[in-house]
A and B are shown apart, each in its own frame.
Chain A
Amino acid sequence: MRTIVVEHLARVEGHGGITVELDGNTVGNVHFDVVEGARLLEPLVRGKRFDEVAPILSRICSICSAAHTLTSLKATENAFGVRISPQTELLRELMYRGESIESHALHLFLLALPDYLDYPSATALAADQPQAVLLGLRLKKLGNLIQETIGGRAIHPVNAVLGGFGKVPSVEHLIELRGALIEGMKDSDTMVDLTASLPAANFCHCDTAYAALFSPNGDSYYSGDQVMVAAKGDLSLIRAADYQTLTNEKAVPHSHAKHSSFHERPFMVGSLARLTINPRRLTGRLAATMERLQLQLPSNNPMDNNKAQALELIRDVERALEIVEQLLRDGVKDERPVGIQPRAATGTAITEAPRGLLIHSYTYDADGRITAADVITPTALNAADMEARFRRAVEECPEREDTVIAKRLQMIARAYDPCISCSVHLVRRR
């Protein structure tokens, strides 16, 4: 009997570990241990007024704080029947793209890249290959510049509020963004070259199901309210209001993240899932990029999520530039947020955070005080799938030494881009 333990998973957000038990070459228990403390924000937010909810629940996670904020606003707006303006939709999409650029660049360059090149950290890598690290930092900064310009702050944005924005960006700020995005187009192209040049990571192969927002235009993080699940060619569509059929959560003793399954099967969310569910977006430059990255869909290799993020990064920069140019062309109106009339109702919003599906569902009383909140995060949705993939990776090479297996397990964990603070979630048990 052998136990392989990764006590502290490094280069991820939050505190987690991995435990795998082996009896000879037979794999026994496999656990993704979430040891991050439980903050229990969900019951704590109860009784708060509708305008206090997003700033509190944003604090679930820093890296996805724009996603949490915007998903929270959308859930509350859905509950109260608030219709936001097309300009607000566009600015929110821009914020979402900004967060995705920052998050993907952070993950690809500072968290995942050192594994492929055998360094402990990006700063250690910078001693030998400063250009690669500086490229990543420039892209990351671009994402933060968008978030600061539109959201008012890179982490825990303040400017996006119910019904709209506190202040819309000035023409000067948009011109500055356009300049940075034009540079970013070149940088994202270099980023693809770098990603394509990395050694292959082929040590875990198994089919899984994928779930992502079914996007009406094939390319969005924030619009649409149906989730598509693809399992072995079978497609299912789930409406936002029915999200519990997807999550079907179960608390487990070894983790503060609850586990999810669809029809008793784990599934994967995130970049690879989005590309698999919405392949219509993959034309022209993106199709060519897929070839450069040697990425084929559907993939049975979880490590391909890194390539999928590289592909999304290209698209995010391109789309952010389109939005900024449209705003400059049409002019930005000094709109005030739409007025809010609270009512007793439930509202649910599903969006795509950088690392996958994010669900906020709230119930309000007639005074606009929240009586129940349910937050389902991508890392919690991925937890069961990660464990299945850990198992498979060990089954493919049980004879290898512990250090090799441990490194592979950590690389798989990082490929999911886990956000462990997020996964410790805060859901009311129903």
Chain B
Amino acid sequence: MSKPVVGIFGLTGCAGDQLVILNCEDRLLDLVALIDVRDFLMASSQNDAACALDLALVEGAVLSRKDAEKLLAIRQRTKLLVALGTCAVWGGVAAMDRGADRRNLLAEVYGDTGQDYDSEPARALHEIVKVDLNITGCPIEKEHFLAAIANLLNGDVPVYPAYPVCTECRMLENNCLLIERGELCCGPITAAGCTARCPNLRIPCVGCRGPASDANPASLLSALEEKGIDPRGIAARLRTFAPEGVAQ
């Protein structure tokens, strides 16, 4: 069987999900033996920017006309498109205040020069093209990426947790930061898969993986309000990594 042809792309973001791929130090050479990576600008200066792809891995959010065109072109040439990381899946930190006036923000940072920049409010990939698989996380977990490749090579699709971070945290028998210490922890509504990394270090979850599909935000809100935490602060915090209106 010929090796699947793969492209790895970054739109606007921090390149952290591509870096997770390069951080698979023990597996990197095995990986390139199993898949044919033809287009990966961050790692190679010889890329085929037009070939048909079996799999496209795309990180980052869409923040410009150029990003949107690039994404549409990738969708046209690939059989499967995977959104890699919270920015691609949910919009990420750049989308936290999508209602803000872009021109004012640009003027504030760049002055008059900024008015000509190609710049749009952040959008997740699925708001523009069909996405076949989401791997969330800021950044993604290395194991989730490797599992995706292994599954796809075997004609299967990986399954990631639908339950919230709390489930993982309770299994580690941690004391609850929210109930016992009254801290604003986003664990009850954030997608698991990180083995409750932050609460396991006694640090409240900031929601960097985006919402869990199996979550109950209303119950989190009432639990927090009972603890006397300002609801406006809670709403702002829940919007940091995944803005409202991006639900899939």
Contact = CB atoms under 8 A, between A and B. Distances in A.
Contacts of B110: 38, 251, 256, 258, 429
Given A10-B47, A120-B46, A38 B108 contact: no
B29 A123 contact: yes
7 contacts: A12-B42, A62-B15, A63-B15, A123-B29, A138-B25, A158-B197, A253-B113
B201 A167 contact: yes
Nearest to B41: A10
Contacts of B113: 251-253
Contacts of A61: 14-15
Interface in A54-73: 55-56, 59-63, 65
Nearest to B12: A37
Interface residues of A, number: 69
A11 B42 contact: yes
Interface in B71-90: none
Interface string B14-26: 1110011011011
Interface string A140-161: 1100100000001111101101
Contacts of A126: 29, 32
A134 B189 CA distance: 41
Nearest to B63: A37
A303 interface: no
Contacts of B161: none
Q: Which of A35, A47, A63, A137 has the most CB of B within 10 A?
A: A137
Contact of B15 (A13, A37, A159, A167): A13
Interface string A1-19: 0000000101111110000
Interface stretch (B116-124, B165-173, B210-218): B116-124
B149 to A, nearest CB: 15
B29 A39 contact: no
Interface in A106-135: 106, 110, 114, 120-124, 126, 130, 133-134
B208 A428 contact: no
B104 to A, nearest CB: 8
Contacts of A65: 14, 16
A158 B203 contact: yes
A216 interface: no
A41 B93 contact: yes
Contacts of A154: 23
Contact of B108 (A10, A43, A56, A121): A43
Contacts of A36: 12
A258 to B, nearest CB: 7
A76 interface: no
B202 A167 contact: yes
Interface in A18-51: 35-44, 47-49
B45 A38 contact: no
Nearest to A158: B198
A39 B40 CA distance: 22
Contact of B109 (A8, A38, A130, A421): A38
Interface string B186-209: 000000000001100111001010
A60 B92 CA distance: 12
Q: Which of A42, A61, A120, A121 has the most CB of B within 10 A?
A: A121
A136 to B, nearest CB: 9
B42 to A, nearest CB: 7
Interface residues of B, number: 63
A246 B43 CA distance: 33
B15 A421 contact: yes
A394 interface: no
Given A144-B23, A156-B139, A410-B45, 12 more contacts: A11-B42, A38-B106, A40-B109, A41-B93, A43-B100, A44-B94, A56-B93, A59-B14, A121-B46, A154-B23, A156-B208, A166-B202
* A-B complex: 9 closest residue pairs judged by Cβ atoms: A62-B16, A120-B46, A37-B12, A37-B63, A121-B44, A166-B201, A10-B45, A39-B94, A141-B25
Interface stretch (B125-133, B220-228, B233-241): B233-241
B203 to A, nearest CB: 4
Contacts of B111: 251, 429
B100 A37 contact: no
Contacts of A106: 19, 22
Contacts of B122: 39
A167 B175 CA distance: 14
B28 interface: yes
A427 B15 contact: no
B11 interface: yes
A11 B233 contact: no
A40 B44 contact: no
A253 B106 CA distance: 13
Given A11-B42, A44-B100, A155 B108 contact: no
Contacts of B92: 59
A120 B43 CA distance: 9
A425 B42 CA distance: 20
B139 A62 contact: yes
Nearest to A420: B15
B201 A37 contact: no
A42 B106 CA distance: 11
Contacts of A140: 22-23, 25
Nearest to B29: A126
Q: Which of B44, B47, B67, B92 has the most CB of A within 10 A?
A: B44
Contacts of B94: 39-41, 44
A89 interface: no
B82 to A, nearest CB: 18
Contacts of A40: 94, 102, 105-106, 109, 119
B114 interface: yes
Nearest to A59: B93
Contacts of B43: 11, 110, 121-123
B41 to A, nearest CB: 5
Contacts of A429: 107-111
Contacts of B44: 10-11, 120-121, 123-124
